[in-house]
Amino acid sequence: MGSLPVYRLLLHWQEGKLAGIRDFRYARYVTDGAEWRSSSRAPQAGRAANTGSRGASGGALWCMLISTMTLQPVKLLVIASLLAVGPAIAAQEASTPNPQATEAWSPVPPVVTPGATMGAPPSDAIILFDGRNLNEWVSAQDHTPARWLIRDGAMVVNKAPGVGNIETRRRFRDYQLHIEWRIPADVTGSGQARGNSGVFLASTGPGDGGYELQVLDSYSNSTYVNGMAGSLYKQSIPLANAARRPGRWQAYDVVWTAPRFNSDGSLKRPAYATVFWNGVLVDDHFELKGQTLYIGKPFYKAYDEAPIKLQAHGDPSQPISFRNIWVRELP
């Protein structure tokens, strides 16, 4: 019979229910990869008469004893003991958690090569501004080519009359955005009139319609907290003030989940925004109540995809600059 570990001894009947010992064909003892079979000979009539008609468990015990009559008494006792505890052991092992039951092997995520340095665009990013031209931008008013300025590889807000906001040629739904901005070192003014601009995560109109992430000098500059840098304008209060002093570059990293609408224009799911400001989490999956408004309560207006918009604010302070703008569309 060989070595059969106690904790792995199981008995498997090929014949199902036994009508009598003469119906016995063989029993199979299954261990860790080992198998032993015993074919019985027709037993004596007396032994067969003692079996009667048994269920699988009774027949199993009797037939196993029949097939092991040639074993030493000690071995026979061990086998009988194993048969008594076998069902309990099997039930216990069947309930043992299998780590493979919670392993997922598909779908396999696509390979994305990260940027060589922090803030550099990854391999699947759409480059919106790399310091060379404004080809990805148009006027938010009439969609003519953008007329902001390029200086030293940066995009500078043009506050001249009639220029106004600019927005991307492309439209987006859900995405990851990286954008860097700088308040001039010689900035003047205070409150909302000090380095004011905005990144509209979804532009829904030519003016300031949409969902604005505020840009402002918030380094030792007091204003209402739901209008400081890092706020989703007049809706969220940033979790922290991560401002750098004027003249230094700052960065926003944003995950934008656009709102969804039903076919009749009613809201199906609100918009959410997660914002990191200079690497610090300031908006954590914040649920917007609608478009961001200067006056009045927010509301939703149905749209599908929308451009990203940069604001030319009308305050008299020196214009701010942007650089290294890229976006990754999310499924």
Strand pairing category for 137-139 and 280-287: unpaired
pLDDT at 169: 98
pLDDT at 77: 46
Cβ-based neighbour number of residue 298 at 10 Å: 15
User: pTM here?
Assistant: 0.72
Below-50 pLDDT ranges, the chain: 1-71, 73-80, 82
Residue ranges of domains in the chain, CATH in brackets: 6-94 (no CATH), 126-329 (2.60.120.560)
| Dist CA 75 CA 99 (whole Å) | 36
pLDDT at 173: 98
Average pLDDT of the chain to the nearest whole number: 81
pLDDT at 55: 41
- The long-range contacts involving 303-306, CB below 8 angstroms and separated by at least 24 positions, are 303/202, 303/204, 303/261, 304/173, 305/171, 305/172, 305/173, 305/258, 306/171, 306/172, 306/202, 306/203, 306/204, 306/210, 306/258
| Dist CA 246 CA 27 (whole Å) | 85
| Dist CA 80 CA 252 (whole Å) | 73
Q: Name 38's bridge partners.
A: 27
